[in-house]
């Protein structure tokens, strides 16, 4: 996809905010705990490489991604810190895992047996680093019983081609007020730990929500994701433990301003009609950029005033109702601060009836990321 460098619409990423969010969490961590920054999905839409570099400055000692290609991107950008791939990687790519010195998740015995078979056919002195995933109630990937985990550990011990580096699980309700299911998952993971006679270098259970609201949980590594970008993992369900600084702003400019008479229709489907003479401004952003059609009726900021999006959002443009004539080229703030007013990503998510994670990941690569 071509990046729209030659139009005013852009995402502005405050790398200092990312650095501060990481540092504020590092200061809270128990001694001997490490923070791995989660930069999957292009750094939750913020840009993986630039986010990673800012996270290192804040005190991150490693990274988590979702797929092999994301890990390779970091390595080829010069990131040398440990990188864990949180999902399953096909065993046919083991040579790439070794080449780029990557850690990989083991979620089934079948996968590990196939991996050992692959390793037997590779002439290498390097061991494959693995993290064993325990499914304590997420229902996604991983081993579901202490016996299964114990068996996989014993299998790992049969070969020097594998380095058991980590053991982990993921909590599904750490960001909710009701912690009963969280406790159930915690107890299940404790049962796994009790069944093992030894533990690997990293034991990690803490995503952002767990790190913020359950800091006394077991483990010596935190997978710091959404909070690193300054967003509350719970949305609005739980208060922030410390101020999180949002790193992303979305801005554009007005490319046309015109006064329309009463009775004029705006946009596809004629879903909005001017009730009187109105000033209408056009912004060069649309659903192809991730500014979705359901945001019709939402407001953006122009000179600190909230201006409603009128008519259906188009693929590349949308229209807003202005309080008065405004000069073409005036900045429009779709997410961020303007003249003392703020539009947050949570507000966008609320309008879309979703979560801010999805909003951030929806922004397309057509919008350039500008880092400051």
Tell me the DSSP string of 59-75: T--EEEESSHHHHHHHH
Rounded to an integer, what distance in angstroms lies between the CA atom of residue 242 and that of residue 247?
Answer: 15
28 is in an annotated binding site: no
40 is catalytic: yes
Q: Which sign does the torsion angle of CA 247, 250, 253, 259 carry?
A: negative
Provide the 3-class DSSP secondary structure of residue 106. Answer: strand
Rounded to an integer, what distance in angstroms lies between the CA atom of residue 159 and that of residue 171?
Answer: 31
Tell me the DSSP string of 286-332: -GGGT--GGGTT-EEEETTEEEEEES---SS-EEEEESS---TT-EE
Exactly one of 19, 40, 53, 133 is catalytic; which is it? 40
Rounded to an integer, what distance in angstroms lies between the CA atom of residue 143 and that of residue 136?
Answer: 8
Element (H, E) at 259: strand 256-260
7 is in an annotated binding site: no
Exactly one of 183, 242, 258, 268 is catalytic; which is it? 268
372 is catalytic: no
Mark the binding-site residues for substrate, compressed into ranges: 140, 315
Catalytic residues: 40, 268
Mark the binding-site residues, compressed into ranges: 140, 315
């Amino acid at each position: 996809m071509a990046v729209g460098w030659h139009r005013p619409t852009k995402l502005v990423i405050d790398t200092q905010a990312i650095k501060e969010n990481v540092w504020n969490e590092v200061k809270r961590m128990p001694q001997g705990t490490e923070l791995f920054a989660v930069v999957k999905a292009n750094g939750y839409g913020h840009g993986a490489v630039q986010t990673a570099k800012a996270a290192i400055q804040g005190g991150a000692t490693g990274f988590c991604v979702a797929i092999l290609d994301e890990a390779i991107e970091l390595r080829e950008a010069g990131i040398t810190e440990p990188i864990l791939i949180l999902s399953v990687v096909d065993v046919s790519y083991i040579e790439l895992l070794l080449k780029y010195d990557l850690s990989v998740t083991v979620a089934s015995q079948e996968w590990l047996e196939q991996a050992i078979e692959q390793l037997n056919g590779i002439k290498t002195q390097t061991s494959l680093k693995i993290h064993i995933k325990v499914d304590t109630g997420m229902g996604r990937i991983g081993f579901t019983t202490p016996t299964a985990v114990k068996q996989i550990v014993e299998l790992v011990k049969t070969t020097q081609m594998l380095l058991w580096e980590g053991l982990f699980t993921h909590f599904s309700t750490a960001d909710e007020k009701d912690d009963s299911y969280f406790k159930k998952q915690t107890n299940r993971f404790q049962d796994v730990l009790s069944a093992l006679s030894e533990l690997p270098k990293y034991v990690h259970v803490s995503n952002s929500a767990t790190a913020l609201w359950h800091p006394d949980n077991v483990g010596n590594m935190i997978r710091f994701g959404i909070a690193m970008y300054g967003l509350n993992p719970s949305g609005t369900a739980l208060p922030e433990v410390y101020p999180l600084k949002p790193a992303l702003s979305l801005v554009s400019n007005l490319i046309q301003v015109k006064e329309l008479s009463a009775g004029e229709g705006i946009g596809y489907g004629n879903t909005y009609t001017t009730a009187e003479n109105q000033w209408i401004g056009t912004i060069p952003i649309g659903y192809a950029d991730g500014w979705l059609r359901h945001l019709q009726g939402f407001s953006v900021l122009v000179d600190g005033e909230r201006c409603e999006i009128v008519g259906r959002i188009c693929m590349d443009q949308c229209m807003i109702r202005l309080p008065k004539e405004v000069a073409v080229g005036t900045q429009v703030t779709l997410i961020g601060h303007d003249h003392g007013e703020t539009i947050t990503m949570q507000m966008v998510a609320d309008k879309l009836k979703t979560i801010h994670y999805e909003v951030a990941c929806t922004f397309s690569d057509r919008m350039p990321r500008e880092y400051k």
